[in-house]
């Protein structure tokens, strides 16, 4: 009986720990579907907040090129967060294998990651980084023909 209670509590705890990168990818996919219904070139702004208004976080969109830890630090990513991203996620190819991925990192927590290319291909031409003390980040998704571009992150 106690074992069943422990398992139930663990499942509830796991369900409440949402994967922020997957949630962001889902928002991007939904925005791409909205843009797909429009004719011609169009733009959509996506708002995303992985934490409460007072908890800091960093979102990084890796382009299809190698990105080194030193480049993240030079672009303003906290050295501890950059180190943790490469220690925890390098086996998945984040930053090292020219895979387009998004990483959401919070101080003191394991970073989450997700590929952002798939059925609806979203192109990121350059490294996009947002480090915020809390609150929402705004992303700009543009549709040109049949191609979607993530062009701004602030």
- Within the chain, residue ranges assigned H as helices are 2-16, 20-36, 69-74, 79-89
Instruction: State how far the Cα of 45 lies from the Cα of 142, in Å rounded to an integer.
Output: 9
Q: What is the pLDDT of residues 42-67, one digit of tens each?
A: 999 999 998 777 889 999 998 888 88
Give the pLDDT score at 97.
Answer: 67
Residue 122 · residue 44 · CB < 8 Å:
no
Which residue in 115, 100, 113, 116 sits closest to 58, CA to CA? 113
Strands 147-153 and 122-123, sheet pairing: parallel
- Where exactly are the structural domains of the chain? 19-153
Residues of the chain where predicted confidence (pLDDT) is lower than 50:
1-17, 119
Instruction: State how far the Cα of 20 lies from the Cα of 78, in Å rounded to an integer.
Output: 19
Residue 33 · residue 120 · CB < 8 Å:
yes
Give the pLDDT score at 120.
Answer: 54
């Amino acid at each position: 009986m106690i074992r069943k209670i422990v398992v139930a509590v663990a499942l509830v705890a796991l369900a409440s720990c949402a994967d922020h990168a997957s949630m962001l990818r889902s928002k991007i996919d939904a925005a791409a579907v909205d843009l797909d219904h429009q004719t011609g070139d169009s733009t959509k702004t996506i708002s995303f907040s992985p934490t409460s208004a007072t908890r800091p976080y960093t979102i990084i969109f890796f382009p299809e090129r190698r990105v080194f830890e030193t480049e993240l630090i030079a672009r303003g990513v906290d050295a501890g967060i950059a180190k943790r991203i490469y220690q925890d996620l390098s086996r998945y190819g984040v930053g090292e294998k020219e895979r387009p991925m998004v990483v959401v990192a919070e101080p003191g927590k394991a970073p989450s990651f997700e590929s952002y290319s798939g059925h609806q291909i979203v192109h990121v031409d350059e490294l996009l980084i947002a480090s915020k003390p809390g609150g929402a980040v705004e992303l700009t998704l543009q549709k040109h023909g049949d191609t979607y571009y993530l062009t701004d992150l602030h």
